[in-house]
Structure 1
């Protein structure tokens, strides 16, 4: 016999009792009836998408979740819900209800009420008051036109969805009765044109969505009161002005999405106070300028999206302060100029998207434009009109794993251009423009060794006998150097000094064995001089033997001249010529221009003649002659017998 006074006996009895209860519950569950034509799954009764009049007259008392959506219901009889004391979730979306329905005496137990896609025109405090436990209310896709101060009773709402209505105004205090609980508020696709300052006094709100409205301007302190807000979406509003302090008060904001607007610049004024921001999405705007100190208050950014804007320049100051940035998207802009050091300071960057810009000269001529990005793993450069890749193009990218150069008409790839990227796992390259001469014979061998072959599609454009053939189908013996169709610089522009107000001429020449049309450009400090005075000429010459000897090659020599008139101090800089044809571009060395004033005396050693050093000279402004003088005996310029006349300037 068991004795209930013994602990072991008590434990055994408890186990038996629990098993009995579970068996009873299982038996009750097995005896649940599912009223036709509805379907049941656990505690869910699905009576959605029924024909008119087919909704059962009685709903089982065990129902916890009820789906009455897509039934074209215009009214609901509250007696249908009179015994549903366990009901907590009800879906009434996609019906024809014109008001929040009466759901009987147990409406106070409902936590989720879905009324999207009906014909409701207003939010009534009387209709919502019975829902004492309501946490999620979805009124999206109705005909609500405004939100009054008296719209909501005091409810424990956490999620309020009002997307795709006709709301054009928010009355002061309209969300006051929800301030202690509301965490998610969605007002997308409405007709809001202004957002009153401090309208959102919701200290617990974490996510706010205002996309696809008509807000053109955001004033300072508009969102003050949202101290817990973590994400704000304001896409597709036509936003053109964000005033200083527009987001002040959002001290816990992590994600700000402002894509598809009309913003024109990034400045610290409207970013003021976003000290915890981690993601900033500004894609598809009209941004053409990033102010030098723009990121002063956003130095915790991990992701920055500036794609599809009007950026044409990346200055040295463009990304200062973003040392924690992990992803940078600048694709689909107009970037043609990247300053030396533009990426300096992005020490944590792992992904850089520069696709569909105009940065061919950056890749072809700059000395390691990405060298500061020693943690970069992914680099996207597709569609940038890149025609040649050099050994210095990707210097410093030791950690790079993925490089995308597709959709560039690449004509030449210098030997070992990719070899320094020891961790490279994927190279994407497709071009049918390659100059398949002896300088390219390394490429198919290297690609095969690195197992990049599946992602590389490369064929020859020159010489004619190899045109159209894949580089992987060309034998090593067929890669020969019989001509040089790509321009080769033969005369470099020379460094010069000039007096203010005088004229300066830079000369640059290149030769090519191709009759492909040639284009000429001059750059100053890496920027193209579009309005410069440039004169170009060409003439034929024979290279090799004379008198028709075997081995002679007829080449065309091209000369381009840059004329600078009445130079100013602003004319100082480094000048470079770029000569291009169908087979690629050649870049000259950079010649420095220094401009001096007649009143300023300066003196230093210079190398005027290759075999002479430490020569001092004077300018004679009357005849612009340069007078070479022996090194002065004194310690400073113009001492003793080598003093320049008073009207001359030392240089």
Structure 2
């Protein structure tokens, strides 16, 4: 006898822990009903008294019942892009609510009754076509995060300083010509996002915000940065990416507390020596700057864990790079390196290594001894062969060997028990070793354009597969096991001369392929 789930248990089973990036990160028991086009809440949902977060985003014309008050533990409510012209009255009856997301409700008004939300600490109003700050916001005295991004030319009232608890203010894409004077009075502010405000002026008074730890100046069209930036010596996180800087002044060395520095896409040809003296740095991104070379001083960044040097026109790397033994994440992709020295083996803590299109024809054997590796991308390198030592990467979860001119794979590839993502696109393999079908934890496998003529029944062992790309091969038949994959949501067999199942069936997708094999028995 099959027992059908009751509606209440159906919704209860949908509740999952989810990490929300609010003020910091917090995990809440969440019911995700986004994009469900619900017009009203099911009564059964209101029985979920332990629910902490409810996501109703992209639900047009939603009628929120006053019964919502039964959700006494609800801390977060997401009503993004729900075509709201005002905040539903039911929301005002949730005094325990801490986070309210109203983003992308254009022309929404905020009623004065919202002042009853005494515990509200996070309010998202980005892209609501606000010209001024709704007055009721000034009555939300416990607000810590206020997101007003993408409200073009928004005017902020002088009284904004009343919000004594504001720590995070987001004003990206607001077409601001200068930092609003009222913002300069928020002495308790810790994070300020001014990104995508082209040509914005940063007044000297900004240095008065002595608690600022995070400053986002992404794509503000600055050729040079005002000296006030370098006076914010308490900064720990600074994003200056996608600005046509070309050079940095020596004053950057004053940011002695910075841990996260993003200088990607800045047209920098050189960096001042002072950059390498920022010894607190843990995260540094220099992507897409025509640096061509790095000085030996890079070795002074003894605490760096994340280093992105991709697309920097580097032909060689100083030996000091390989002595950054705290590195866990290294991207060297799209540099004409041609060779890697054996010194790379010193990076014993590296978990993520990206070497896409580095013109490598061989790899030093020490690469395969980096046993902490979880993510390795070797795409677009003319390797031609892969050594048996690849089997030593017992912690690898993501391995991309696409476009590597590989004619065969060693059996040891099948000894990667943690592997979940395998990319072999565009290699003239023609066949795969039987050991590949031992990768029972793989969820994504790309075997497209590999000149494969057959796919054995053993593929059925890969029961965790969610995505399988077999396109542009020479397959005439698919094994019946393909139809038995219960987790498979994506299957691409385009560009194969298939007769079984016929191309017409395959063109209808995975459901039709399953039905075809079921009918065959």
Q: 1:300 aligns with which of 333, 349, 362?
A: 349
2:212 equivalent to 1:157 = yes
**For residues 512-551 of structure 1, what are the structure 2 equivalents within 5 Å?**
none
Q: How far does residue 50 in structure 1 lie from its aligned partner after superposition?
A: 4.0
Conserved in 1, the CA contact under 8 Å of 2:133 and 2:156?
no
What does the per-residue CA deviation read over 1:259-283, in whole Å, with 9 as the maximum and x for residues that have no partner?
A: 4x24344635362553222122344
Q: Could you say if the C-alpha distance between residues 216 and 230 of structure 1 is closer, same or farther in structure 2, counting changes exceeding 3 Å? A: same
Structure 2 CA distance for aligned equivalents of residues 39 and 353 of structure 1: 47
TM-score where L is the length of structure 2: 0.59
Conserved in 2, the CA contact under 8 Å of 1:265 and 1:291?
no
Instruction: Report the aligned-residue RMSD.
Output: 5.1
Structure 1 CA distance for aligned equivalents of residues 174 and 187 of structure 2: 23
2:282 equivalent to 1:233 = no
Q: 1:102 aligns with which of 151, 154, 158?
A: 158
Q: Could you say if the C-alpha distance between residues 372 and 149 of structure 1 is closer, same or farther in structure 2, counting changes exceeding 3 Å? A: farther
Q: 2:406 aligns with which of 330, 351, 359?
A: 359
**5+ residue gaps in structure 1?**
1-25, 27-35, 437-442, 462-467, 473-651
2:451 equivalent to 1:409 = yes
2:330 equivalent to 1:280 = yes
Q: 1:319 aligns with which of 367, 370, 376?
A: 367
Structure 2 CA distance for aligned equivalents of residues 171 and 101 of structure 1: 25
2:424 equivalent to 1:381 = yes
Structure 2 CA distance for aligned equivalents of residues 84 and 376 of structure 1: 48
Conserved in 2, the CA contact under 8 Å of 1:175 and 1:202?
yes
Q: How far does residue 430 in structure 1 lie from its aligned partner after superposition?
A: 6.1
Conserved in 2, the CA contact under 8 Å of 1:271 and 1:298?
no
What does the per-residue CA deviation read over 1:383-402, in whole Å, with 9 as the maximum and x for residues that have no partner?
A: 2122345xxx5669966654
Q: How far does residue 255 in structure 1 lie from its aligned partner after superposition?
A: 2.7
Structure 1 CA distance for aligned equivalents of residues 441 and 496 of structure 2: 27
Structure 2 CA distance for aligned equivalents of residues 188 and 370 of structure 1: 41
Conserved in 1, the CA contact under 8 Å of 2:393 and 2:416?
no
2:376 equivalent in structure 1 = 328
Conserved in 2, the CA contact under 8 Å of 1:268 and 1:295?
no
Q: 1:39 aligns with which of 77, 87, 103?
A: 87
What does the per-residue CA deviation read over 1:588-640, in whole Å, with 9 as the maximum and x for residues that have no partner?
A: xxxxxxxxxxxxxxxxxxxxxxxxxxxxxxxxxxxxxxxxxxxxxxxxxxxxx
Conserved in 2, the CA contact under 8 Å of 1:215 and 1:239?
yes
3-state SS of paired residue (2:321): coil
2:185 equivalent to 1:133 = no
Q: Could you say if the C-alpha distance between residues 97 and 223 of structure 1 is closer, same or farther in structure 2, counting changes exceeding 3 Å? A: farther
Conserved in 1, the CA contact under 8 Å of 2:413 and 2:435?
yes
More strand by share: 1
2:79 equivalent in structure 1 = none
What does the per-residue CA deviation read over 1:61-98, in whole Å, with 9 as the maximum and x for residues that have no partner?
A: 9776775964463x889x99987766655454444549
Q: Could you say if the C-alpha distance between residues 230 and 280 of structure 1 is closer, same or farther in structure 2, counting changes exceeding 3 Å? A: same
**For residues 346-495 of structure 1, what are the structure 2 equivalents within 5 Å?**
346=393, 348-360=395-407, 362-363=408-409, 368=410, 370=412, 375=417, 377=419, 379-389=422-432, 393=433, 401-402=441-442, 404-411=446-453, 425=463, 433=474, 469-470=499-500
**5+ residue gaps in structure 2?**
1-71, 73-83, 503-521
Structure 1 CA distance for aligned equivalents of residues 138 and 386 of structure 2: 73
Conserved in 2, the CA contact under 8 Å of 1:459 and 1:469?
no
3-state SS of paired residue (1:243): coil
Conserved in 2, the CA contact under 8 Å of 1:143 and 1:166?
yes
Q: Could you say if the C-alpha distance between residues 400 and 353 of structure 1 is closer, same or farther in structure 2, counting changes exceeding 3 Å? A: farther
Structure 1 CA distance for aligned equivalents of residues 344 and 297 of structure 2: 15
Q: Could you say if the C-alpha distance between residues 91 and 456 of structure 1 is closer, same or farther in structure 2, counting changes exceeding 3 Å? A: closer
Q: Could you say if the C-alpha distance between residues 321 and 388 of structure 1 is closer, same or farther in structure 2, counting changes exceeding 3 Å? A: closer
Larger radius of gyration: 1
Conserved in 2, the CA contact under 8 Å of 1:95 and 1:117?
yes
Q: 1:224 aligns with which of 277, 282, 303?
A: 277
Structure 1 CA distance for aligned equivalents of residues 147 and 483 of structure 2: 57
2:333 equivalent to 1:290 = no
What count of residue pairs does the alignment treat as equivalent?
Answer: 399
Structure 1 CA distance for aligned equivalents of residues 317 and 265 of structure 2: 24
Structure 2 CA distance for aligned equivalents of residues 431 and 95 of structure 1: 46
Structure 1 CA distance for aligned equivalents of residues 485 and 110 of structure 2: 62
3-state SS of paired residue (1:263): coil
2:384 equivalent in structure 1 = 337
Q: 1:209 aligns with which of 256, 262, 278?
A: 262
Structure 2 CA distance for aligned equivalents of residues 123 and 458 of structure 1: 53
Structure 2 CA distance for aligned equivalents of residues 138 and 380 of structure 1: 37
More helix by share: 2
2:173 equivalent to 1:117 = yes
2:317 equivalent in structure 1 = 267
